[in-house]
Amino acid sequence: MAISRRWLGKGDRRVLALTVPIILSNATVPLLGAVDTAVVGHLDSPHYIGAVAVGALIFSYVFWSFGFLRMATTGLAAQAAGRRDAQEVRAVFARGAMIAVVGGALVMLLQWPIVELAMRLIAPTPDVEAAARDYFHVRIWASPATLMQYCMLGWLLAMRDSRAVFVFQVVLNALNIVLDILFVQGFGWDVRGVAGATVIADYSGILLGWFLMQPHLKRLGGRWRDVVLFDRARLLRLMQINGDIFIRTLALTSAFALFTTFSARFGEVTLAANAVLQNFLMFASFALDGFAHAAETLVGQAYGAERRKQFLWAVRKTTVWAAISAFVMTLVFALCGIPIINGLTSIADVRDAAYSFLPWAVVLPITGVLGFQFDGVFLGATQTRHWRNMMICSVAVFAVLAWGAVALQSNHALWAAFNVFFLARGLTLVLLFPSIIPRDATGFAKS
């Protein structure tokens, strides 16, 4: 503690106190993805790895189409907290929860057309498709619970309760990992066991999330019966923000869908190798998301409280620490990449392919850091229109380059295009950042 006070300023300690628990909790998410890969990566065929990758892609596409439930909840609830509007803090969660229940039920009702369309677009090999369908038809039943968790996590982040977020993620992902191992290695349920573990963990998460929200609800005061769900102006604002986030998220998941789809064109071994290497991206993205979440919360509260200097301070501090973490992760990946690959799969052909493409995964934290960080800044300020448009432009650039990679039959070119995509999404947001800085002339105090 004495060392941290000597070398870190008060502002740095404040940012790290908010961010470190989020990073640690987020780290359990890629750990779960790694375990999902590892438990099937030690079965007798690479098609199981491909099936989990394809199944997870479908759900990423579907569920993160509802990513606005997490993102909008954090930005709007943080701004309401900055204004000290307790009833609106409750109302933000209630509106999101209502959308989560309805949206989850709709996803389950539409499961047949979703999986049929996905298989036509991805066009995996027959063995991968059969196993991916097994995974899909089990995991689909977690839909309402998964979407409700987005609302709960977003709300807890807005309350700056990073410890609760840590507990939430660690407990649920630990449960998921234990059930993964039990169902796949113990009961022999292959990919269906991976999906079943997720379903049980997600419904358990609703109970845990509600419990973790209670201290904040008591501190805030107010009553649920007094919440105004259908305030016209606020619903219109929510719809506009959610629409922007939906389109942006659809564009982002489309980039990942293109990456997996084009990986499948290179055969089962390359698809499996790319799936293994995507775990590096998961580790990088969830760590960098810790600083993005911190920026979202701090920027949102500063924006709601109308404090311009606090706004700029939050952007500066969180970005510096995000850059430091990106360089550290790149170094770790460079030193430990091969052992990580070996731990994820024992299939020799998949290992050899992953070794050759490893350098592209190593540099992803560097190329991606600004995109993650300024996502949080724009979300905290709920300035979503430019944020949406820059994502669409970045995905368009990636799509062109990815098509070229397929034409060249080069997986190296596909990975290069993937890195260009992450770099583009960050640089475009940096260029637009001055346009969202609050000005004193708009009524923002000088702090």
Rounded Cα distance between 213 and 7, Å, is 34
Rounded Cα distance between 45 and 39, Å, is 12
- β-pair partners for 307: 445
pLDDT of residue 71: 79
Helix (H) or strand (E) holding 310, with range, is helix 308-344
Residues 6+ apart with CB under 8 A from 385: 244
Rounded Cα distance between 434 and 311, Å, is 12
Per the prediction, the chain carries an average pLDDT of 83
How many angstroms separate the most distant Cα atoms in the chain? 66
**What angle do helix axes 68-82 and 143-158 make, rounded to 10 degrees?**
30
Rounded Cα distance between 282 and 286, Å, is 6
Higher pLDDT among residues 440 and 284, named by residue: 284
Query: For the residues 355-382, what does the mean pLDDT come to?
Result: 90
> Helix (H, G, I), strand (E, B), or coil: what is residue 42?
coil
pLDDT tens-digit map of 375-395: 888 888 878 888 889 999 999
Residues constituting the chain? 447
Query: For the residues 212-222, what does the mean pLDDT come to?
Result: 86
Provide the terminal-to-terminal Cα distance of the chain, rounded to the nearest Å.
30
- Please answer whether residues 22 and 225 qualify as being in contact, where contact means their C-beta atoms are separated by less than 8 angstroms: no
Query: What letter does residue 64 receive in the DSSP assignment?
Result: G
**What angle do helix axes 47-63 and 126-139 make, rounded to 10 degrees?**
50
Rounded Cα distance between 203 and 195, Å, is 13
pLDDT of residue 323: 92
Query: What letter does residue 221 receive in the DSSP assignment?
Result: -
The answer, yes or no, to whether residue 10 has pLDDT greater than 70, is: no
Confidence of residue 368 (pLDDT cuts 50, 70, 90): very high
Rounded Cα distance between 173 and 31, Å, is 8
The answer, yes or no, to whether residue 200 has pLDDT greater than 80, is: yes
The answer, yes or no, to whether residue 407 has pLDDT greater than 80, is: yes
The answer, yes or no, to whether residue 317 has pLDDT greater than 90, is: no
The answer, yes or no, to whether residue 44 has pLDDT greater than 70, is: no
Residues 6+ apart with CB under 8 A from 322: 288, 291, 292, 369, 372, 373
Confidence of residue 29 (pLDDT cuts 50, 70, 90): low
